[in-house]
Structure 1
Amino acid sequence: MAKRRKVANPLALAVLAELSAEPMHPYEMGRRLQEHGKDRDIKYTRSSLYMVVEQLRKAGFVAEQETVRDTQRPERTVYALTEEGRAELYDWMRELVAEPQHEYPRFGVALSLLAVLEPAEAAALLERRLAALDATAEEIRATVRGAKESGVAWIFLIEEEYRLGQLEAEQRFVTGLVESLRQPEYSRTWQEFFRSRE
């Protein structure tokens, strides 16, 4: 069972991970998250990043190390990871890697309510989804190929490989679902069900 965390936002985990490398200010954290492609997996804005850093500070996971004054930029506070923050980072990572958690993807919601759409419309919409999935999968393959050719180690590409695996599994599932929706038997069952409710 997942632990109740003082700061449970996934962005907080990314901040702890970035600070495990070296102390830095929030602007630099955001730049590195983008540079490393983490913004594809963790949704955030500049203000939410600053808010999470403040939550981590209040929880005792990060501490202000120094304030940097630069004539061309506003004053910036550099944060460092505390021992409690390092322990939280590793504990949280171990939990996420080892223990599957139920998530609530939006597509799952749509599938649970798919019967409200006529079979032909549902199949056509799912084919549009398949086209989008194909394009996204090809984009990921190109990104991974390019990164490998540039010498990026495989460990730094695992989230992209995971996304690709998920997309490929979804493509297989949706393809089978479209075929099932096009079966005359399903259309008859769907029509009988909705007629009985009129």
Structure 2
Amino acid sequence: MKRRKLSNPLALAVLTTLWQKPMHPYEIAQTLRRQGKDTSTKINYGSLYTVVQNLEKHGFVEVTDVERQGNRPERTIYGITAAGREETTEWLSDLVAVPAREYPIFETALSLMGVLHPDEVTRLVEERLNSLEVQAASARGGLEKLYETLPRIFLVESEYQLHMIEAQAEWVRGFLTELREGTLPGVKGWRTFHETGEIPPEFQDIENGEDRPFEK
């Protein structure tokens, strides 16, 4: 994937919003909220003005007008440039076509969970599964209502969010079953470590850096 001059997803959201028409930053923020983009993109509205300025610096947006209304402060209107349209198209194309390696915090927690006792992890995973099931039910209900008023093309990101919640819940459910039944390979050594404080012999090779199939 090409290294971009700007990588903040908010910059991409601003570009696609300005593709609709020129706007001042406050109107951009209102439009992002109204169109629900803050549910699929982590948006820090406090940094929106800085993002717009950075886009202008790189030639992706430009000042098209300055509004003056009575005693109100001036409002600078920004529009997307030809370079901005090209950047938006290339950036979106990359994101849609090329799977990026992301680092969800849950993966981090799973990779480090050995410091917790397996019984505690079982309890915590049960708690997570309950939360995921509630989230899925809520998202499913919300989507069903939205389908009544909006074309599906405007809801595909919400569908994807629901699918990912359900997929995670399915995996967590299976993992929880293995924890409860004690069938997870290595769980006995994990439990022994917490009960004795000693690394089990079967883990020694792993500690020495051997037999790590995904390590490069």
TM-score bracket relative to the smaller structure: over 0.9
Question: Partner residue of 1:37?
Answer: 36
Secondary structure class of the residue paired with 1:54: helix
Deviation at 1:139, TM superposition (A): 1.8
**How many residues of Structure 1 are paired with residues of Structure 2 in the alignment?**
196
* Distance in structure 2 (CA, Å) of the matches to 1:159 and 1:185: 36
Which residue of 2 is the match for residue 135 of structure 1?
134
* Preserved CA contact (<8 Å) 2:118 2:191: no
Describe the SS at the equivalent of 1:70. Answer: coil
What SS does the corresponding residue of 2:7 show, helix, strand or coil?
A: coil
88-97 vs 33-42, which moves further: 33-42
What displacement does 1:192 show?
2.6
Name the Cα RMSD after superposition.
1.6
* Secondary structure of 1:6's aligned partner: coil
Cα deviation digits, residues 63-103 of structure 1 (max 9, x gap): 00011112364221110000000000000011000000000
**Does the 8 Å CA contact 1:26/1:50 hold for their aligned counterparts?**
yes
Q: Which moved more, 1:153-162 or 1:37-46?
A: 37-46
Residue matched to 1:62: 61
TM-superposed CA distance for 1:185, in Å, is 5.1
SS at match of 2:78: strand
d(CA) in 1 for partners of 2:135 and 2:69?
Answer: 42
How many Å separate the matches in 1 of 2:154 and 2:71? 34
- Counterpart of 2:155 in structure 1 is 157
Q: How does 1:110-129 map to 2 (within 5 A)?
A: 110-129=109-128
| 1:189 to partner: Cα distance | 2.3
Q: Determine the structure 1 residue equivalent to 2:27.
A: 28
Report the more deviating stretch, 141-150 or 185-194.
185-194
Amino-acid identity (%): 43
Measured in 2, the distance between the counterparts of 1:45 and 1:72 equals 29
Which shows bigger deviation, 184-193 or 22-31?
184-193
Q: 2:166 and 2:45 mapped to 1: Cα distance?
A: 33
- C-alpha deviation, 1:124, in angstroms: 1.0
| 5+ long unaligned stretches in structure 2 | 201-216
Q: Distance in 1 between matches of 2:72 and 2:123?
A: 53
TM-score (norm 1): 0.93
Spell out structure 1 runs of 4+ moving beyond 3 A. Answer: 184-187
The SS at the match of 2:153 is: helix
The aligned counterpart of 2:188 is: 188
Write the mapping of 1:49-128 to structure 2, written as runs, cut at 5 A.
49-71=48-70, 73-128=72-127
Unaligned runs of 5+ in 1: none
- Determine helix, strand or coil for the equivalent of 2:79: strand
- How far is the alpha carbon of 1:128 from its aligned partner? 1.0
Q: Which protein, 1 or 2, shows the higher relative CO under an 8 Å CA cutoff with sep ≥ 6?
A: 1
Name the aligned partner's letter for residue 197 of structure 1.
Answer: I
